[in-house]
Structure 1
Amino acid sequence: MSALNPTATPFLPAISSLSTLPDTAITSTLDLLFEPTSELHSLALPTIRTCSFGSYDELIDTLRGQLLTIASEVQDNSEGKKKLYQVLGSHPRLGAPKPGKQGEELSEQSKNEQKQLRGGDEREARRLAELNEEYEETFPGLRYVIFVNGRGRDVIMEDMERRIKRGDIREEEKEGIQAMCDIAKDRAGKLLKSAEEAV
């Protein structure tokens, strides 16, 4: 099987064949599930090459376990922790104005996931931007990540305020990893469903 065609409709290869694909096809698959980041590629490639998985959920759970281990065992300011923060920081800021502005490039998945957070009430949009800044000042190197899953801006902002007030960077690492993996599972489910419907 050849590498994924970046101009084709996004699809996931059969999980049973993933370990046999070229690196470029594996990293393209990871980029569909997560936001593109070379740090995740370097973590996941050896795992995918040496383990077999019965489903994409199983693969995502395995990667989540690896990320949680890094978060709990690796010292602050180490290379491992910096790589973890690069992975978590690959998700775009919630409600960022538009793709391409303020350095925000959104994947197609992120655009769809965040569409209800854009536009609308300008005061809410400003408050969301302020909370993003406050969050990143409270937790240097991290970016607020949540599985939006249809939640509105008001619910998201309440959660941001709660997490900022809590002020626990270790919990933020865990919540960010969990949210990133919840998003990846949701994306996998949607991509697999659309492939089934196309047959």
Structure 2
Amino acid sequence: MRSWIHSVKPLGDFKQVVAHPSTHSDAPALPPLTETLSDTSGEKDGALARALALLFEPSPILYDALVPALSTHIQAAPPVLSYRALIDAALGVISAWPDDRKAQFIGAHPRIGEAKGLSHLSAQEQAAKATSPEVLARLKHLNACYERRYPGLVYITFVNGRTRAEIKDEMEDALALEHALAADDPPVDGVESVEVGGEAWRAELERAVADVGRIAKSRLSVLGIETAPSA
């Protein structure tokens, strides 16, 4: 199991899904749903891969494992009628993966507090310009503490409009730490690690996968997708 640890950084509604073109040429846009669902190429520049990369963040495991598996699922399963349903189908595929694949998948999301190399949507979600240097330094330390506690995982949370300062507090609560702005307290090497594959580790892995799904669904409105409210 150590071989991969260190390498990791329901059907929807029946209404027509409408994608609204962005007024900014550099803003991302989802392909039309019919184009995405009919793509069986498995190519990185195919409609399915492009859609999944926008919703979940691009990564080798997304292109090499999720895209072909989801393409096969789409052809065999009941019709997918919305992008929300496509996300649910993707999560169903991911749920059947072994733990190492799931950990690689969530590792494609940037760490909370990263300010460089972010995708267009991640930068919006993390509100980079509204964060003080002290909070960013604290988040960097908390990420290191978290990754010491849960080897092979990175901290994933559905930001949902919250500031990085609020996420800092959430991370401290999750790690049972006092709220602070210290960039080096507690020492990382003093954080106790849980057993990889153990109950606590796997519970955190599954929570992170669920939050990746919540993030993907929240991106639909940002990307101009309208769906009718579920009953």
Tell me the TM-score normalized by structure 2.
0.66
Q: Distance in 1 between matches of 2:146 and 2:59?
A: 22
Task: Name which of 161, 166, 174 aligns with 2:172.
Answer: 161
Q: Answer yes or no: is the 8 Å Cα contact 2:126–2:163 preserved in 1.
A: no
Q: Which string of whole-angstrom CA distances, capped at 9 and with x for unpartnered residues, describes residues 148-181 of structure 1?
A: 111123431232123334x621121111111111
Task: Name which of 165, 179, 183 aligns with 2:211.
Answer: 179
Q: Which string of whole-angstrom CA distances, capped at 9 and with x for unpartnered residues, describes residues 73-111 of structure 1?
A: x3xxxxxx3322111101111112x31xxxxx2111111
Q: Answer yes or no: is the 8 Å Cα contact 1:148–1:156 preserved in 2.
A: yes
The structure richer in helix per residue is 1
Q: Which string of whole-angstrom CA distances, capped at 9 and with x for unpartnered residues, describes residues 118-159 of structure 1?
A: 532x33222211111100111111110111111123431232
Q: Distance in 1 between matches of 2:210 and 2:121?
A: 18
Structure 1 runs of 4+ aligned residues shifted over 6 Å read none
Q: Answer yes or no: is the 8 Å Cα contact 1:116–1:150 preserved in 2.
A: no
Q: Answer yes or no: is the 8 Å Cα contact 2:55–2:217 preserved in 1.
A: yes
The amino acid of 1:45's aligned partner reads P
Task: Name which of 184, 187, 190 aligns with 2:222.
Answer: 190
Tell me the matched-pair count: 172
Tell me the TM-score normalized by structure 1.
0.75
Task: Name which of 66, 71, 86 aligns with 1:43.
Answer: 66
Q: Find the structure with the greater CA-based Rg.
A: 2
Structure 2 unaligned segments of length 5 or more: list them.
Answer: 1-24, 177-193, 195-199, 227-231
Shift of 1:58: 0.7
Shift of 1:116: 4.8
Task: Choose between structure 1 and 2 for higher RCO, CA contacts under 8 A separated by at least 6 residues.
Answer: 2
Q: Distance in 2 between matches of 1:143 and 1:9?
A: 27
1:28-39 residue pairs with structure 2 within 5 A?
28-39=50-61
Q: Distance in 2 between matches of 1:116 and 1:150?
A: 12
1:14 and 2:40 are equivalent in the alignment: no
Identity of aligned residues (%): 32
